[in-house]
Structure 1
């Protein structure tokens, strides 16, 4: 899985390339949390255009970021 991000007007835009599963979700969680902290973004926009699979642990990461 490859994660890239950029910010625009306090929106963190996260582009994910690859599968999101129980093996990769912790990496996604850590990188998004770090980017949120570093950029003081107020919103997150995820791009799943290059994601071919996501299991329930990936959905859990998304819900967790929503609650933040």
Structure 2
């Protein structure tokens, strides 16, 4: 999967991330999620890492930016489907301090 896929379920926006979340894909993810937020009604954003094997600092930037934006709107952000490599990146970057992991 080269591009993120966006799915709205009730008041949740699920962002199925591509295989690589890097400088090339991050700007697009930021823009697309903003379009959904401007439509109103989104209270939760869930980033699905199931198909993601690589993420760099620009991906962390997207997560932080979307977290701040959702807080402005009174909503929240969570992550899901992260493998051990992505878990390590999220842990080191402090993302788990502000976002819940829905992965069991």
TM-score between both structures, scaled by the size of structure 1: 0.87
Does residue 29 (structure 1) correspond to residue 30 (structure 2)? The answer is yes
Give the conservation status (yes or no) of the 8 Å contact 2:3–2:25.
no
* Cα distance per residue 1:3-53 (max 9 Å; x no partner): 111222311111112201112210111011112222520110110010110
Superposed displacement of residue 58, structure 1: 0.6
Match of 2:67 in 1: 66
Match of 2:17 in 1: 16
Q: Which of 1 and 2 has higher RCO (CA within 8 Å, sep 6+)?
A: 1
Give the conservation status (yes or no) of the 8 Å contact 2:12–2:42.
yes
Give the conservation status (yes or no) of the 8 Å contact 1:7–1:39.
no
Say if 1:28 and 1:2 are closer, same or farther in 2 by CA, change over 3 A. same
Does residue 55 (structure 1) correspond to residue 53 (structure 2)? The answer is no
Q: Distance in 2 between matches of 1:38 and 1:46?
A: 19
Structure 1 residue ranges without an equivalent (≥5): none
Query: Who wins on radius of gyration, i.e. which is larger?
Result: 2
